[in-house]
Structure 1
Amino acid sequence: MLDRFKAFWTGVILAPVVNLLIRLKVSPDVVTLVGTIGVCVGALAFFPRGHLLAGVIFITCFVFSDMIDGAMARKTGRSSSFGAFLDSTLDRIGDAAIFSGLALYFAGTGDNRLYLWISLICLVMGAVTSYARARAESLGFDAKVGIAERADRLVAILVMTGLGAIFDAPILMYVALWALAIASTITVGQRIWTVRTQALAAE
């Protein structure tokens, strides 16, 4: 859903940053790596201690690297198979760090066993969602379906966690976690069914 806005962000909002990094001869892979490290630090250093708003702000400062590195690679003609592999792999690490940070928060300061488990479900099903698509494509199938794409999951949890912290309304984060747990599980089911249909048709 949110992928449709990438052209606007990379072409208008983030264009000055992209051009500056290109002039400084910064590698897109370096941007990818720094962005992932920033997301991981924000999630694992702030969330477990209960500093949810600070964590969201810190993560947001780095999360746009996912669009910046791709725009840099396309503009400089430095797109590569390794770059795509690195970007996808580090995206999974960043996503896992966010939900791991929330799980640690609920295991400690947040002291809520139910939402500890919901966070873990989001962590696992989010990873399986990405794996299902990658594995399907490696077998020659198309599994780009589902109601919970990566960008949607990321924006939803960051926005709702941030707003919940600002207005002292943790219910917003709880709703987001439930929605993402359900949506990710449905997405995995959709992708399995889609690949099954294609496989049976091919046979």
Structure 2
Amino acid sequence: MPLSAPPDEGVELLDGRLRASVSQGLAPLGRGLRSLGISPNVLTASGLFISTITAWLIAVGELRWGVLGIALSGLVDLLDGSVARTGGTASPRGSFFDSVADRVSDGLVLGGVAWYLAGESAHAPMLAFAAMALSMLISYERAKAEALGFNAQGGLMERAERMILLGFALFFNMLVPALWIMIVLTAVTAVQRFIKVWVQASGAKAELRESVRHRRLARRAGTRSASSTSGSSRTSRLSGSTGEDGPGISTWWGSRRPAAGSMTRRRSVARRSRP
């Protein structure tokens, strides 16, 4: 287990900085949805459904309708968090559901892109699958780092950037160049996160070693102190000093021996009492 993790200093484009400001702007709408009885989980499930429809639209060639679907699913993804925060219902279960739904949505949309590209070229769908694999990789890096107590946020191509780039590519029908850009920048993000967590883990390892060394030194000092106290106690008992354990051996032995004058008086009394 790491002892500490440094603050987040990663490169963030949209997913970290823009999301916070947009979420604040959507707070009134989130409160309104909450007052209507709409829960964050309902919004998350709705976003997943919209992503499914979006993937189908892209697969059949309705690319500009796909742009609208991506925009709607992104809006719903922002609203579920806003409803949870304003209603005080944010929970680990909801966060887990939202994260899984995001991964499934990414897979569905990129799967729709791969299906569409299969009609144009035999190799073009591999670009969509490569982008999907790298997207899952950076998501796994963040999840694993947070499970270990580290911070892996940030990077050049997080989810918001990927969806915006894909929306432009769908609108202008430039999927192949956009997918190449997505692959390169997502790979850079994966390397950024790996290095970031590696540095944090290296610092935590050095801190752990220093802590273990201090504990060992303290343990040795305590052992030496106990040995010194035990030796002085034995010496005091043998020399006859009185401590917490009572009189020493010499004192006890002296109290058991009769005094010299007492022995002389006993001998004289014994001689006079003879017949």
After TM superposition, the score normalised by the length of structure 1 is 0.87
Pairwise CA RMSD of aligned residues? 1.7
Residue type of the alignment partner of 1:140? G
Match of 2:157 among 148, 151, 163: 148
Quote the Cα distance in structure 2 between the aligned partners of 1:201 and 1:21. Answer: 45
Give me the identity figure in percent: 33
- Determine if the alignment matches structure 1 residue 78 to structure 2 residue 89: yes
Partner of 2:185: 183
The answer to whether the 8 Å contact 1:103/1:119 transfers is yes
- Determine if the alignment matches structure 1 residue 28 to structure 2 residue 30: no
- Determine if the alignment matches structure 1 residue 126 to structure 2 residue 135: yes
The answer to whether the 8 Å contact 1:39/1:63 transfers is no
| Shift in Å, 1:16 | 5.5
Quote the Cα distance in structure 2 between the aligned partners of 1:16 and 1:76. Answer: 11
Q: 1:28-177 residue pairs with structure 2 within 5 A?
A: 28-43=40-55, 45-108=56-119, 111-162=120-171, 164=172, 170=173, 172-177=174-179
| Shift in Å, 1:8 | 4.2
**Deviation larger for 18-27 or 33-42:** 18-27
**Alignment deviations for residues 47-82 of structure 1 (CA, whole Å, 9 cap, x no partner):** 111111122223322321111011111111111111
| Shift in Å, 1:103 | 0.6
Quote the Cα distance in structure 1 between the aligned partners of 2:147 and 2:50. Answer: 30
The answer to whether the 8 Å contact 2:27/2:86 transfers is no
Partner of 1:10: 23
Quote the Cα distance in structure 1 between the aligned partners of 2:189 and 2:19. Answer: 22
Structure of higher CA gyration radius: 2
Gaps of 5+ in 2: 1-12, 206-275
Gaps of 5+ in 1: 165-169
Quote the Cα distance in structure 2 between the aligned partners of 1:137 and 1:77. Answer: 23
Quote the Cα distance in structure 2 between the aligned partners of 1:63 and 1:184. Answer: 19
The answer to whether the 8 Å contact 2:48/2:73 transfers is yes
The answer to whether the 8 Å contact 1:136/1:143 transfers is yes
**Deviation larger for 83-92 or 185-194:** 185-194
Quote the Cα distance in structure 2 between the aligned partners of 1:159 and 1:17. Answer: 27
Residue type of the alignment partner of 2:33? L
Quote the Cα distance in structure 2 between the aligned partners of 1:140 and 1:178. Answer: 33
Q: Which has the higher helix share?
A: 1
Residue type of the alignment partner of 2:43? V
2:112 is paired with a residue whose SS is helix
Quote the Cα distance in structure 1 between the aligned partners of 2:192 and 2:73. Answer: 31
Q: How many residues are treated as equivalent by the alignment?
A: 192
Quote the Cα distance in structure 1 between the aligned partners of 2:104 and 2:167. Answer: 16
1:2 is paired with a residue whose SS is coil
Assess, with a 3 A threshold, how the Cα gap between structure 1 residues 32 and 122 changes in structure 2: closer, same or farther: same
| Shift in Å, 1:7 | 4.2
Quote the Cα distance in structure 2 between the aligned partners of 1:62 and 1:197. Answer: 35
After TM superposition, the score normalised by the length of structure 2 is 0.65
